[in-house]
Amino acid sequence: MTFTKSSLAIAVMAVSSGFVYAESAPQTDATLLNQVTVTATRSEKDINDIAQTIEIVDQYQIQQEQPESVAQAVKSLPNVSVSGGPRANSQSINIRGLEGTRVLQITDGARQNFSNGHRGTYFTDPELMKSIEVVKGPSSNLWGSGAIGGVVVQNTKTAEEMLEPGETLGGYLSQGFHSNNNESRTSGSLYGVNDNFDWLLNGYYNDGGNYETGTSGDGNGDDVENSGSREQGGMAKLGWQLNDDSRLEFKAQQAQTNAKVPSNPTTAVDTDSPLIIQESTNTNLSVAYLFNPDSALIDSKFQLFYTDTEFDEYRIEDEQTDNTRYKTLGAAFTNVSKLTHLDLTYGLDAYKNTIETVRDDFGNEGNRPENLDGESTTAGAFVQADVPLAEAWTLQTGVRYDRFEAKDNRSDSDIEEKKQSDNAVSPSVALIWDTTDWLTLTASYNEAFRAPNMEEMFSTGTHFATPVGTNRFVPNPNLKPEEAKNKEISARMNFAGLLSDDELTITANVFQNDVDNFITQFVYDPNIFGVPTKTTWKNVDEAQLKGFELAGQYRYQDIQLGLSYGQTRGEDKKTGEYLDNIPADKVVADAAYLMLQGDLKIGSRYTYVSAQEDIRSDYDGQSSYGSYDLVDLYASYEPTTGALKGIKTDLTVNNLTNEYYISAWETLYEPGRNIKLNVRYMF
């Protein structure tokens, strides 16, 4: 970090962990200690009453940052990073060194299970978000398979929360522009409440070109070829209050993306990854029945959901068409019972995944992956109890049982074992000690699992072909589920009135996550030319991830400060080798000031990411990744009175110094300076 950038960072007091506000609080509310409700616990709870580490990004932070993906919206959280490179439609979230299918994704209570090849998995546009909850660490005790690294819970907007008290109709129009890739982002919404009904309609259209990196050694930024995309979609919601006790909720959501990218969008054009024209469509349908009578024993929700994700791709050079379709049909039931001496949260889940692929090998027979036709089913039951042991002590304990099976439906497949089944038990226990009115200590233990997906078990055919050798998939239907065991100690401190009108919150977490049967892809058995001829997935005996997080937020009158640090280390306990995809250490700090009675907020963020040199000896990427530091500026103006009331303007400058940098484990350099402007008119 040069003296110039350090001086600039200090001058603007940049570096951010973000502030957590109540979801319904207006931007002018500068309070840090508002009650914050989370839903990642399968029931609404105050964030201070839970044992797990959960961080929230609300809609005001999302509007301020103007992210192009869900992953970008949470990138400043400690031990959370973006993987997948600069193309927004291929980005995913890494939590404490685990990513992809090891981080479960939930949208409005429904699982998002799509996973295939190098294709993206996050489809909801951030414009639709009310909040994003990031659960750190294993969480299968409530959510089942896939949550060994954490859970990303996406809550979309509702009419009731968008309207002011007494209003029955409202809406907004929003227009944004991002300078780096000349992207236009347009969205609009109309919503209302009428007698026993509430409804919301939302639509968006985004169109952007190629990204440009920061300033490289020759003084010029590099164009990231074929990094632009066109995205459009919408959401419709309807709520029907049947009576005082019962409510029905309906939701339909669709997202479409069109792009011309390499088949592996994390890589550059002109590599071994062929250029394709890709069209993706993601459809979500959901209906939920909520029943909450005047009884302490019943506060229940029953939900049916259906997700359909389809990728249509055209390989330009080979003139081949490919199709991938992944569908999930599921049901979930949850109930909360408040008994005399404990609170119980319990329920049932069941869902079925199906995948079908059509891989055209015209003109290149035998040198493509074979078609997949598989299905998997899972059924689980869970219970969690909150037990007050004494005035200052609470025991949170729970357990979940899952039964799952997967099968290959292809009659022409050479796989001998076409059907596999297994089960898993996921216990959890935590002790919460409210030592004083300002300090809470928690010790917890959680187990989790991830069932192997159909691609890992049943892939056959050619992985890749070269002039001097061909690599073919070797199926492994006997893969064992990954199993995680996480130990964590955390502390929360809340202070008010230290200097009269001020507040301070501090959180600290230390964790160790041991993962058995870690599933890793192996490319092996080289021929005489050194080209590996086989690819399969295998279980690694033991992997260990450990680290800590420290974050603090301070408010003095209208001044807000934030500082966080996250560190994760990972190794194969059997060989002692480093694990891949462990994020580099990160410091984020933020300074903001509220002016004009809170109508105007200006601030700056500084992010320092250290070098990542913990690379296993046989890694085929870079031998190390250098450190980098980023400076961001932001301003939000939302008048609460006068002629401009109802107009909100957000201005953000990302990577102010035009830093030329690459994130650890990626192959593409990240965008340079990006000026983002968005104007929102609310009526």
Contact between 96 and 547 under an 8 Å Cβ cutoff? The reply is yes
User: Letter for the amino acid at 466?
Assistant: T
Q: Torsion angle, CA of 156/251/452/352, rounded to 10 degrees?
A: 170
Contact between 522 and 528 under an 8 Å Cβ cutoff? The reply is no
Report the percentage of the chain scoring pLDDT > 90. Answer: 82
Q: Can you give 204-218 as a three-state secondary structure string?
A: EEEEECCEEEEECCC
- At 488-507, the pLDDT tens digits run 999 999 999 999 899 999 99
Residue scoring higher pLDDT (565 or 18):
565
Q: What's the pLDDT band for 271 if we cut at 50, 70, 90?
A: confident
Strand order in the sheet with 129-136: 53-58, 129-136, 150-156, 103-107, 110-111
Residue scoring higher pLDDT (521 or 385):
385
Work out the angle at residue 512's Cα, subtended by the Cα atoms of residues 506 and 514, and round it to the nearest 5 degrees. Answer: 155
Reported as type and span, the H/E element at residue 63 is helix 59-65
Report the percentage of the chain scoring pLDDT > 70. Answer: 95
- Nearest to 606, CA basis, from 221, 73, 212, 76: 76
The pLDDT of residue 574: 87
> Among 33-42, 219-228, 672-681, which stretch is predicted with the lowest mean pLDDT?
33-42
- At 573-632, the pLDDT tens digits run 888 999 999 999 999 999 999 999 999 999 999 999 999 999 988 887 888 999 999 999
Q: What's the pLDDT band for 218 if we cut at 50, 70, 90?
A: low
* DSSP structure string for 245-307: SEEEEEEEEEEEEEEEEESSTTS-TTSSSPEEEEEEEEEEEEEEEEE--S-TT--EEEEEEEE
* Euclidean distance between CA atoms 360 and 381, whole angstroms: 41
Longest dimension (CA), the chain: 77
* Euclidean distance between CA atoms 24 and 44, whole angstroms: 14
> Among 438-452, 606-620, 649-663, which stretch is predicted with the lowest mean pLDDT?
606-620
DSSP SS3 for 78: coil
* Euclidean distance between CA atoms 554 and 561, whole angstroms: 5
**Residue 596, phi-psi category: left (phi > 0), alpha (psi -120 to 50), beta (remainder):** left
**pLDDT, mean of residues 523-539:** 93
Contact between 351 and 329 under an 8 Å Cβ cutoff? The reply is yes
Q: 16: which 2 tokens?
A: 């951010």
Count of residues making up the chain: 683
Work out the angle at residue 266's Cα, subtended by the Cα atoms of residues 261 and 270, and round it to the nearest 5 degrees. Answer: 55
Q: What's the pLDDT band for 124 if we cut at 50, 70, 90?
A: very high
Reported as type and span, the H/E element at residue 550 is strand 532-556
